Every structure is written in structure tokens, then in C-alpha cells.
Amino acid sequence: MPVFPLFRPAGPALALLLSAAPAMAQDQIINGDLDLNGSLHTRDNSVIQGYLCLGDSCATTAAAQSFDINYPLKLSYSRVAIEFDDQSVSTHPSRHWGLLVNDADSYSGGGIDRFSVHDFDSDRTPFTILPGAPDNSFWLNSAGRLGLGTAMPLAQLHLVGGSTASFRMQSTGSLAGNWDILSNSLNWFLKNVDDNEIPVVVRAGAENGSLYIDDNSAIGFGTDNPAAALHVQKNDGSAGLLVENLISSPPAVREMFAMRNNGGSYFTLDNTAAGTTWFFTHENSAPNRFIIADAVTDGPEFSLTAEGDITIPGSFISGATTLNVPDYVFDDGYALRPLSEVASFIDAHSHLPDVPSAAQIADAGLDMTAMQMALLKKVEELTLYTLEQEARLARMNTLEMENAALSARLKQIEAALAIGR
């Protein structure tokens, strides 16, 4: 039978060796040494005013047994364990629990050093501490705060660990996967362990409300009061949105921005400093035009139909600083085509020189600016032709007047000659 020595370090030694298992039915107080080489069953209250060693590896006498002054109870077996055998009736909680210290198997057989809580009824071990665990690995304070790696938890769960503290979430079964939450002085980030990817990073110094999800699922970047499904707000003039495919992406045409609605849609440009607003609208009803309009209710400033018809109620001004306006036609050195050459070109091509033909416009489209400049050039050339014709007519009128004067003079001379005969 195991030895149950009871030892009180101070005072005279009293040794009692029992080879049988005495039953103590009354309250017992032991304030001296008690050496038992058998079993001790106590059905009533017992008080031991000293230290207690239980196990077959304890010394055979209390005087020979050593104790650590900080540990009044010592278990000394080749297989140390404490069993909590609750014999409550079936209508009450009666789970069977145990404290286990180290495995019975050898190291080569897979045994490990450990301290565990064991559930006998389900044969499960929900709690284990391995040797070498650092100080304060698990600390639950009086406020119910749990510290992992700290004896001063400042939150309901406070984790402290090295230069980068981490928390792993691992799922098993058909949806097996591993995710880590990590933090250090520079970042807080979420890591997909299986793919070694870090999809979420928060840098130290990020402002309040950098990412905010409201109770209506609206997302705010820089605001805790998002006024739309996605609201980006900055107070330093840096608010912006960039959608970018890196140069490493294969070259291709891609949809980079889309607005879809069961009805018309629009986006707004507000100049809060000037108090002006512009709307870019896909019209809600037929003819479903694309419209650009300001906030003044005087009709759109621009509209485009699906047939390509454009309406601009105001003036159309194009490229004033880059247009090649054909005022060079009026330069002294400009070579104006003779009308006979123009007539020959028209006979050969059925359109004016320097003006695209109907076939060219059908094939390449109409460049409105180039056409306007070409027509202006023709108008200016026509002006030169007109001025040239007018100068020619003036010269002809002068010649006619001179011819009339000469005719009159000739008649006078002829009349004078007739009288002199």
C-alpha cells in the first residue's frame, strides 16, 4: 500500500506505522508526525497542522521526508494524478475530473512532460501546460481580465508576446484553414497563413475613423458618419480615388469604372468654395440621353443621344491655342490656285481641293475642327477670288470709260476734219 506521511516541520516527531487501513469516523486533528504504510480513509473532518506527502515515493518516515516550505502538499508517485470522483445523484452535476502530471508512456513511446486537466467521462483533456512555459503565460485577475504573457491584463483579453504578438485562428474539416492576427509597433495585420498573404494592414498612426462600418453597412474612410454606401473624407485636401492595374498586368481592355442602376443614374461634381454644382446624368426616361447640366434649372448645357446627336444650347469653342487658322491665305506669298485649276480638280474628283470627300468622311468620320478650318480656308480663298474679280471689273470699267472718252474725242476730230474740207 502507498505511504501517506504527514509532517509538521516544527515540534517533536511522533511516528505511527499502520499496516492496515484504519477508518476514522470522528473528527481528527493531527498536530504531530504520522507515518502510514497503508491506506487512510477519513469519513469525517480532518485537520492536518503540518505538511503532507502522498505517494509510494515518499520517505518512509516523516523525519526523513523533505518539503519545500512553499508547498505543504506533496504528491510523490511514478504516475502523479489527482482524481475528483463526484458521487452526486443523477439529478445533480457529477462530472468525473482529474489532474494529470506527465504521461505514463516513455519519451520514445510518445510520452511528454505536462500538467493537464482531464475529463474522465469523455476521456478528453481540454487544458494542458507544457514545461518551459514562460511566467504569466495565463493570468486571470480579479476583474475577470485574462492575460496571456502578462500579469497586468488591461483588457478582457490581453496578449503580450515578443516583438510581434500573434493570435492564430485555425479551422479543421472540410473548411480547414489558418489565419493569424498580428501586431507590433509598426502594423496590425491579418495574414492568410496557408497562402502566406497579408490582405489587411493597418499602419501605426492611422487616423480615427480610417475605416468605419456603420450599422446600415455604409463604409466610411476617414469618417465615422458615412453619408453614402462608400464615403471617403479627408481634412487635408488628400481625398481621392485611384483604380489602377499595375504595368505587370497583361495588356487588355478592362472595365475600370461602372455605375449600374434600375433607372437613370448620375454623379455630382461640387465646388464647395464657389458654390457651383455640375451633374453628369444618364437620363431616366426616353430618349435616355447623356446629359451634362449645372444646378440652375434652365435645361442641360450638353446632351447626347444614342444616335450620336449632340445638342449644345450655348457656343461651341474649340482649341483656340492650337488651331491652324488659315489666315496665311492672305499672306503676300500665298499661291492661290487659278480658277481654271480649281475647275479641273472638281472635274476630276467631284469635291473642292483640301476638303475631304464624302467617301473619306464615311470611312474616317468627320473632324469638325479640321472641317471648319478647311471651310474657312475656302471662304478666305473665295474672298481673294472675289477681290480679284472686283479688281478686274474695276479695270474693265476704267478701260470702258477710257474707250468712251477716246470714242468721243475721235468723233470730235472727225467732225472738225469734216468742217475743214
Q: Give me the pLDDT at residue 297, please.
A: 85
Phi-psi region of 396 (alpha: psi -120 to 50; beta: other; left: phi over 0): alpha
Q: Give me the pLDDT at residue 13, please.
A: 32
- 322 has pLDDT over 90: no
78 — pLDDT class (breaks 50, 70, 90)? confident
Domain ranges of the chain: 1-78, 207-244, 259-316, 326-420
- 40 has pLDDT over 90: no
Long-range contacts of 15-23 (CB under 8 A, 24+ apart): 15/61, 15/62, 15/63
Q: Give me the pLDDT at residue 61, please.
A: 82
Q: Give me the pLDDT at residue 233, please.
A: 95
382 — pLDDT class (breaks 50, 70, 90)? very high
Give the mean pLDDT of 179-198: 96
Q: 52, exposed or middle or buried, with CB in 10 Å at 0-12, 13-18, 19+?
A: buried
Q: Give me the pLDDT at residue 23, please.
A: 54
247 — pLDDT class (breaks 50, 70, 90)? confident
What lies within 8 Å, CB to CB, of 19 at 6+ separation is 37, 38
- pLDDT digit string (tens) for 167-184? 999 999 899 999 999 999
62 — pLDDT class (breaks 50, 70, 90)? confident
- pLDDT digit string (tens) for 332-343? 999 999 999 999
Q: Give me the pLDDT at residue 320, please.
A: 60
- pLDDT digit string (tens) for 220-230? 999 999 999 99
- pLDDT digit string (tens) for 278-301? 999 999 999 999 999 999 888 899
0.85 exceeded by pTM: no
Dist CA 79 CA 72 (whole Å)? 20
Q: Give me the pLDDT at residue 26, please.
A: 64
How far is the CA of 246 from the CAs of 208, 242, 250, 306, in angstroms? Answer: 30, 12, 9, 33
- 16 has pLDDT over 50: no
How far is the CA of 324 from the CAs of 21, 115, 340, 354, 365, in angstroms? Answer: 121, 91, 27, 14, 20
- 19 has pLDDT over 90: no
- pLDDT digit string (tens) for 82-129? 999 999 988 999 999 999 999 988 999 999 999 999 999 999 999 999
- 395 has pLDDT over 80: yes
